[in-house]
Structure 1
């Protein structure tokens, strides 16, 4: 159940989030980070001397608990590998990873928020598609704190709805989503009403 994803941030401010498994948003999505956020990360790499850290900490990571951090500047590259549970990972590395997560709002790609729905809209995401339906289904069923307003925003953007969503919303106690689906004529497993 551990989220599997990658984040790439380039020197020109372009960034890519790629959701692989156990994230609300899946696939590759391009966006930009602020110049202030980018500058802060560059300063952090220098101040924490990350170029001088070891390349691995502890035994080889167990699948699903691994973190791979790659720094690259020109032809210079430094890759750091560690298990999330490994206690001897320097605090500087952990703090930098948290800084990266904050700059790209990674938690919001993992557990959907209105900010990410808006980012997807700006980027031309095809909400009225099977991908849109799957995104909403994952958000409704998420064990993480996905934002119900984000789900309502998806509905407003024309995500195709289905009876399974009502069942998921009831199962996960998403009362606002149950009400919104009911308003749109979605009844759950007893019926097969679908709105496009």
Structure 2
């Protein structure tokens, strides 16, 4: 199922739920919860902003998948894990922009690979724990430095972003990548190389 990445009914939501969400809850935080679960492939219903049975079942699936207490409620631990392993709507737009600006023209798996590196950084203690800070970290991505990041991403970039968020990592947990034809950093060549995909070498 392809996620629609347009503006939702509730628009932007708070950074995290103010309190535990459960059956009967409604509002922007529930919409954000549903969006994140849908991005992970766990919620296949329309985003409504109402916490019903489908949302509870999706939360339980997430909790089982990530080793959390399975109670069907979105409390602080569940939200913390969701923010680590998923993206909200505006963050997904950032991911698609990174993929498009850094990897357009690469094979599809190479586009997913760039997204996987972003997710690996978010989940690594060596980098910031959110996509905005990862992407805009000084010198982190050439496309941010040269302005190509602001180009409008295409549908394929969003599909690749979705696959990366859902856990497809063809890079073997890489944290860096570079094009050997254009790289000017001597340091990047010292990194252990994991795999070459298209024009990029992915490294630890």
The alignment's TM-score, normalised by the length of structure 2, stands at: 0.24
Q: Which protein shows a greater Rg? A: 1
Higher relative contact order (CA 8 A, sep 6+): 2
Structure in which a larger fraction of residues adopt strand = 1
